[in-house]
Every structure is written in structure tokens, then in C-alpha cells.
Structure 1
Amino acid sequence: MTDILDEALDEAMRDAHITMENVGGRTLRVATWRLDEPSDHLPVLFFNGIGANIEAVAPLAEALHDRAFIMFDMPGVGGSPEPVVPYNAVTMAWTTAQLLDKLGVDMVDVMGVSWGGAMAQHFALQHGARTRRLILCATTAGMVMIPGKPAALSKMADPRRYIDTAFMEEHFQTLYGGALGKAEDKAEHIHRLKPPTRRGYMYQLLAMLGWTSAPALPFMRKPTLILMGDDDQIVPLANGTILNSLIPNSELIVLEGGGHLFLMSHSEDCVAAIRRFLNEPDEEPGDPGAAKAA
């Protein structure tokens, strides 16, 4: 079984270009896919979930094979060194912009899942000139969120889910819902995870303390796709409805039976929706077609 999982991981990472980049006073482990290849599409800048390393989302980067993909491990997560000082959404969005400069990338389509969905919102607000479109998965507007089930949230806040395989196995369905309950899918996801450092995990939790995008979202005009699962125990569907009501030019898609990891359990549906959204022509300013999607 381990050999099979190693092969699956190697397959997902085979085209990734991994570097250690010094940006914004931090050293970050960065992965890019197809960045040096010609493309008619902008690169996707991806912000991961809390404590999750590059490998956890590598299959998505592989699936979006017609465009470049950029992702990095947060400080103290995956292969990025432990942070010395804390950070917040403002400083990390600035650091990300510095990384794009170093990679020679001017504009991107921005995507984030869960904690990374909050970072994606903040990046789009702070660096609107560098953001074309926005994709938000299983995420919230921050402090105004509708909380998930206490049993799932308590496990989510516990870094043992990354460190202790038995703990993750025992609480997998509570954390991520039943749609990813097949043993092979569950084992493959767990196998991709690398434990964050305790400080790295804590600083990532603290980075969004008191943060909310709610007051600013009505002024953000970026076309936005919101993907939510109706069986998400951590970020209930109501949070996607709130985002959809606040963002003027947004579209909400609900994955039936999708838990918090619907990007994996419903990967084909997600990739199809993402590709369709990113390939849509941009509306001209003032065009009535830019009105909010129903």
C-alpha cells in the first residue's frame, strides 16, 4: 500500500518545480507548475488550508494542466522554515506579491480553500490590480462566519490531525465528511500530509484572529466563483451563501454530499467548474452582463 501511495504522490508532483525563495524577510518553499511554458491563460495562485502542505493539493495543480499553477507552504508548514515572528493577512498578502514579482508574474487568478480562502479574499482586496478572477472553496468571510459542528472544530484546531495518523484515521469523517470515506482516498490524502511545526500551526491560527472581509466584499468587483459542500462539518454551506450575498459579481455552486475536502471527493466536478469559470470572457466595465450571477 505504501508503494502505491508513493507512486500516486510522485505522479502528482512529477511536473512541480520546487524552490526555496527568500521573500519579504521569510524563506518559503514554493512549487510552480508549467510557469515557464507558453499559455493563453493566467497562472493560478493558490492559498492552501491551515497546516496543509503543497503535496496535499498537488493533484489539483496537475488536473489544471492547461495553465500555470503557483503554491507555497506557509511559514512552519511543509518545507517552509518555522516563522520567527508572527504574520497576518496584510503582511502575508504583501509577501505573496513580492513572491510574484520574483517569479516574474504580474497578474493571476487567485484561489483558496478554507483558511486559504480567507487569504485569497484578502489578496484580491489588497492587490486588486494583480487579481483577475477569484475562486473561494469551503471558506468564510472571517469573524462573521457561521461556525461548524463543535466536534469537527475541536479536531480541526488540534495539530495532532497532522502528527498522529491514528488520530486522523479515527476522526477523518468528523473532520471532512463522509464523501471522502473510501479507504484508498482517505489513505492517499493522509499520506500527502506533512506535520506543521507547533509554532507554525499556532501562528497560522493567530494570523486570522479578528479578521473579516465582510465590510470590504461589497466593493470588490472581481468575478468570483464560490464552491461549497452541503455536508461540510467545518465550514457550513451558509457561509458560502453569505459570501455570495456580499460579493456583487459572484456565483455559488454547491457540491451535493461534499464535505470539507470536496476538492478531492468531487474533483471532476470541481475541475470542470473551475475551468469553465476561468475560461469565461471578461466583461467590459459597466457591461450589464457583469451583474450578479443568480
Structure 2
Amino acid sequence: MTAPTWTSDVSGTGQYAEVNGLNMYFESHGSGRPMILLHGGLGSGEMFGPILTQFAQDHRVILPDLQGHGRTADIDRPLDVRLMADDTAALIEHLGLDRPDVVGYSLGGGVALQTAVRHPATLRRLVAVSANTRSDAIYPEMREQQGQVSAAAAEFMKETPMYELYQRVAPRPEDFPRLLDKIGESMSHGFDFDDDVRGLQVPTLVMAADADMAPPSHYVEVFGLLDGGLRDGGWTGEGRPKGGHALSILPGLTHYDIVDSPLFAATALAFLDAE
């Protein structure tokens, strides 16, 4: 796989918003019904560069940089998807957006799910991509790798696109080891958000690669928590989940290249734009 450059190919405007004590950077691209795209860990909104044109063709796309990522400086609090969900809801309110769709990938997928859990009236529809609801669903070898993330790994990451991006755009480039420490601390704690998912009221698309960080069966289980895959759908769809939820496993992709795939954008848009 070719390493991503993580740069945008659609002109947009970058601004800062004061939300929850965070000076959050965001960009706005295109016009139409609003959509928020939430990036993965150690990335920024630039991660969506290869497919941004697809999203921005008929939508106003908001690309925030989450706490401590990209152009948003860190603050003195843990990296927690629930806190970052509150940031996202505060940004929606700050911008006066009327129930935007929210699409989140990896870390951003967890943030998107928690935004729907904690602020359901704020969203119209949700797409959670490569977002695991339980830490024990992740392959053991991946959990072992996550356990090695700390400031000590900063030197070894200097040839990666994550490090290059951070050095290029972060307000304090010297904070990269601190970010690794905080991400490592966050990943060291087990989590189980299954009960949160069961109560989701926002129509949700669960999406993953067929070779993701957890097995496809995990995402099928998440769909099951949303009343999906439990019965035949019926000739007229009467057996589908009553909340309008859906599942998509994208072929030939991994956790690391799904975010670059036009199939990801096309599938998300088909769900978001459905009547």
C-alpha cells in the first residue's frame, strides 16, 4: 500500500472555534446539506483528501481536527471519545448547523458514535467506519502493538506520514511525544460501549473493511445490537431494523486504506442521501 499524503484536493476555508476550552481547527468545503467528517488517530481532516471531492460535490463538508491532532493544540485533559464527542456537538452548535450528518473513521468513528449517544438531537444520520465498540474485539496482536504506543516511540515514527503531518501543521510540533503518550494511555484501558450502541436513536451505518482491525463478525455483532441481521428483511423491507440502521463490509480493503477508497465515500453517501 502506498503511504497516504493526507492533503486536501478541494479548496476550502480553515478557521478556529472556541469549544469546551478547546481552540478547535476546522475547514469547510463545498455547499449543501451539512456533513461532519471525523478523522482517525494521529491524523487530521486531511486524511479525507483523496475522497473529499466525492463528499463535497453536493454537501457542505466540515473537517474538524480533534483534540491534540492536526492544527488543534492539546489541552490538559485525557484523550477520550466521550469528551471529543462533546467537542463535536459544541462545534455543531457553534456553527449553527441544523442536524448535520456525521461520518467518523477509526478514532473518529468512536467519537461519532458517542456524539450520537450523548447528543442524539444534534445529528440526522451517522456513519461509523472501522469503529470498534469493545476493546476485546480487536485482534490480540493489534492490542499488543497499541500497548507499545508511548513517547518512546516518537523517534521510530519520524518516517511515517503521521509524524510528517504533525510536524507540518501542529501549533506545537514538539508535542508529538506527548500525543503518543496520551493515545497510548487511552488505548491501555479496556472499553465496552455495547450498551450505548443498543440505545442509538440516530439512523446508523456500520461500515468496516473486510480485513479490518477486528474481524467482520464484530461489525455484524454491532449491527445486531441495532436490531439488524436478526431476521429476514422481507419483500418490502419490513424486517429491516426499525431505526433505519444498515451494515456494509467493503471488499479488498484494510483498516489503513479504507479511508482512501472511493467505495467508502460512495457507500456512505448512498446511506446518507437515501430517502
**TM-score range, shorter-chain basis?**
0.7 to 0.9
- Aligned residues with identical type, % of pairs: 21
- 1:263 maps onto 2:251 in alignment: no
Residue 24 of structure 1: how far off its partner (Å):
1.0
Q: Which runs of 5+ in 1 are unaligned?
A: 169-188, 282-294
Check the 8 A contact 1:74/1:80 in 2, yes or no.
Answer: yes
Q: Which runs of 5+ in 2 are unaligned?
A: 168-174, 228-240
Residue 162 of structure 1: how far off its partner (Å):
9.6
- 1:231 maps onto 2:208 in alignment: no
- Structure-2 change in CA distance of 1:125 and 1:278 (3 Å): same
Show structure 1 runs of 4+ deviating over 6 A. 189-192
For residues 210-289 of structure 1, the aligned pairs below 5 Å read 210-232=190-212, 234-248=213-227, 249=241, 250-264=245-259, 267-281=261-275
Provide the secondary structure at the position in 1 that maps to 2:89: helix
Higher share in helix: 1
Check the 8 A contact 1:18/1:32 in 2, yes or no.
Answer: yes
- The TM-score with structure 2 as length reference comes to 0.77
Q: Distance in 2 between matches of 1:211 and 1:137?
A: 18
For residues 131-210 of structure 1, the aligned pairs below 5 Å read 131-143=123-135, 145-150=136-141, 154=145, 158=149, 160=153, 164-166=157-159, 168=160, 193-194=165-166, 197-207=176-186, 209-210=189-190
Question: Which residue is 1:101 aligned to?
Answer: 93
Provide the secondary structure at the position in 2 that maps to 1:69: strand
Q: Distance in 2 between matches of 1:146 and 1:14?
A: 36
- The TM-score with structure 1 as length reference comes to 0.72
Provide the secondary structure at the position in 2 that maps to 1:100: helix
Provide the secondary structure at the position in 2 that maps to 1:197: helix
- Structure-2 change in CA distance of 1:107 and 1:19 (3 Å): same
Check the 8 A contact 1:228/1:237 in 2, yes or no.
Answer: yes
Check the 8 A contact 2:81/2:111 in 1, yes or no.
Answer: yes
Q: Please, what is the CA RMSD of the aligned residues?
A: 2.9
- Structure-2 change in CA distance of 1:22 and 1:82 (3 Å): same
Q: How many residues align?
A: 245
Check the 8 A contact 1:44/1:69 in 2, yes or no.
Answer: yes
Provide the secondary structure at the position in 2 that maps to 1:15: coil
For residues 26-105 of structure 1, the aligned pairs below 5 Å read 26-34=22-30, 37=31, 39=32, 41=33, 43-64=34-55, 65-105=57-97
- Structure-2 change in CA distance of 1:149 and 1:107 (3 Å): same
Residue 164 of structure 1: how far off its partner (Å):
2.8
